[in-house]
Amino acid sequence: MLILVHGLPRAMGMGRQAAGLLPELAEHLSNESGWLVATGTLSGVGSSTGTFSATQWKSDLQVIIERVAQGEPRISLAGFGFGGALALHVAAHDERIRGVATFASPANLSAWCGDAESFHRSVQVAGVVGEAEDLLAPELLRADAVAIDPVGSIAMIPPRRLLIGHGSDDMEIPVGDARLLVTGADGRAELRIIQGAGHQLRADPRMVATLLGWLDRHR
C-alpha cells in the first residue's frame, strides 16, 4: 500500500486545489505498479473541514494510516512539499511505514516558513482555514510546523527505504534541501534530481517514472 500526501499551498486560494491531482495520480500509479494506492485530503484543504496546523495534519495522516493498516500492514508514503516532511516525521515514529519518498520537500522548515507573521498570513491566503478562531497564533503556528524537523526525522528511518526527489530548477525550495535530507539519512537514501523541473512535480512524467521505478524495486 502506498499513501500519497499532498503539500501545503502558499499561494492565493490554492488550498482548494492542493490535493486535486492526487486521485488521478493514485489511479495511474496503481494501474502501472500493481500497488494499492490511497490518498486523502487533510484538514482545511479542498472540501475537507477543519483548519491547518502541523499537529492536525499529523493526526489526519495517522487516521489514514490506521484505516489502511487494517487490511495491508506493508505501508509506504510518498509526500509532496510539506507533505513529504510530514511523511518523514510520521514514519520516524511508526515502524509500520516501510519506506518514504519525498518530492520537492523542505529540509529546513525554519527557512521555508519564514517569519511567523508571514507564514500565518500565507496559510490564511491559501484558504486552508475553516474557522478563523481555530487557526493557531502566528508564533505557535510556525513553531508547530518547524517541530516536524525533516532532517531529524529522516535520521530515524534507515534501514527502511528512502527516495528523495527534487527539481533542479525549484524556485520555492532549493535543491540543496534534497541533499540535506540525504545527508540527514547518513547517505542511505536514493537521490533523484529531475533536471529542468520546478517545484510542481506531481504532474511531471519524470517524477511519475521515478516513483514507479522505486515502487517496482521495493515490492
The CATH number for 136's domain is: 3.40.50.1820
Give me the pLDDT at residue 16, please: 66
**Rounded to an integer, what distance in angstroms lies between the CA atom of residue 92 and that of residue 166?**
21
Q: What stretches in the chain show pLDDT beneath 50?
A: none
- Would you say 39 and 33 are in contact if contact means Cβ atoms under 8 Å apart? no
- The residue with cell 492526487 is 22
Structure-block grid coordinates of residue 90: 510520521
Give me the pLDDT at residue 197, please: 82
Q: 135: domain range?
A: 2-217
**Rounded to an integer, what distance in angstroms lies between the CA atom of residue 109 and that of residue 158?**
21
Give me the pLDDT at residue 57, please: 97
Number of domains in the chain: 1
- What residue ranges in the chain does DSSP mark as E strands? 2-5, 37-39, 75-80, 97-103, 161-167, 190-194
Give me the pLDDT at residue 218, please: 81
Give me the pLDDT at residue 18, please: 63
